Amino acid sequence: MLLVGLTGGLACGKTFVAAALHNLGCHIVEADTLGHEVLQPGGEAHAKVIAEFGPAIQTPDGNIDRPKLAALVFAHPAALERLNSIVHPAVKDRASRLFREIVARDPHAIIVYAAAILIETGGHRDVAKLILVTCPRETQIARALERPHSTEADVLARLARQLPLEKKREFADYIIDTGGTKEDTLRQTKMVYEDLRRLPS
């Protein structure tokens, strides 16, 4: 097994690159998907998050109202830290189980763990190689504003909470710049994949 991290800033094209790596033969594990799963009823973090932030964050059917929870924590760093201290360990445990399941089926698998804040949480120390997806800041903002319900204030606030891309570059083994055409991004992604295949698994 070769465990590779995939990260990038807001709207840099991480999902596009992950899909391309999947098409090339990698196994993709998305931290964001696992984050949704652990917050669902019966998930590892569901009851703990409600206990921490109160029943007001629940919908009538018992789910966690994610927009309401986000509004509650993102303006308050201490609250966000409390939420992360519950969710991140649960996501990490679930990811570890998935890695083991993949390796049981494919011992020489290249597993790509995609996470927006992989460096910020220290998760980059658990991977053999780290891919950073990047693009110019103005491209980031323009792409993010195309998403439903996005506002410039919200986009800028989210960017401010992430480690700047310039800093993330210091941790990366590979950098894929998505500021050009999709074809150029795919070309860079294939080059990274071919290099990963040459590494011992």
CA dihedral 83, 87, 89, 93 (to 10 degrees): 180
Contact in structure between 95 and 31 (CB atoms under 8 Å): yes
Digit-coded pLDDT (tens) for 5-35: 999 989 999 999 999 999 999 999 999 999 9
What pLDDT score was predicted for residue 63? 94
Name the H helices within the chain. 14-24, 31-39, 46-53, 66-73, 77-105, 137-145, 152-161, 165-168, 182-197
Neighbours of 96 (CB within 10 A): 12
User: Does position 102 have pLDDT exceeding 80, yes or no?
Assistant: yes
Low-confidence winner among 6-20, 66-80, 84-98 (lowest mean pLDDT)? 66-80
Sign of the dihedral through C-alpha 34, 35, 36, 42: positive
How many other CB atoms are found less than 10 A from the CB of residue 127? Answer: 20
> What is the C-alpha separation between 97 and 101, in angstroms, rounded?
6
Strand partners, 129: 4
C-alpha 151/C-alpha 141 separation (Å) is 10
pLDDT band at 75 (very low <50, low <70, confident <90, very high): confident
At 151 the pLDDT is: 87
Per-residue pLDDT at 153 exceeds 90? no
Residue range 46-74: mean pLDDT, rounded = 92
Q: What is the dihedral of CA 33, 38, 39, 45, to 10 degrees?
A: -150
What pTM, to 2 d.p., does this model score? 0.91
pLDDT at 201 over 80: no
CA 120 to chain centre: 11
Residue 80: both structure tokens together: 């966000």
Task: Please give the pLDDT value at position 71.
Answer: 83
- Report the CATH superfamily, name and number, of domain 1-26+109-201: P-loop containing nucleotide triphosphate hydrolases (3.40.50.300)
Count the residues in the chain: 201
Distances (CA, A) of 182 to 13, 15, 19, 189, 190: 10, 13, 12, 10, 12
pLDDT, mean of residues 89-117: 96
Residue 3 is predicted with a pLDDT of 98
pLDDT of residue 149: 81
DSSP 131: E
Q: Taking each helix axis as running N to C, give the angle between helix 77-105 and helix 31-39, from 0 to 180 degrees, rounded to the nearest 10.
A: 110
CATH 3.40.50.300 in the chain is located at 1-26+109-201
pLDDT computed for residue 121 by the predictor:
87
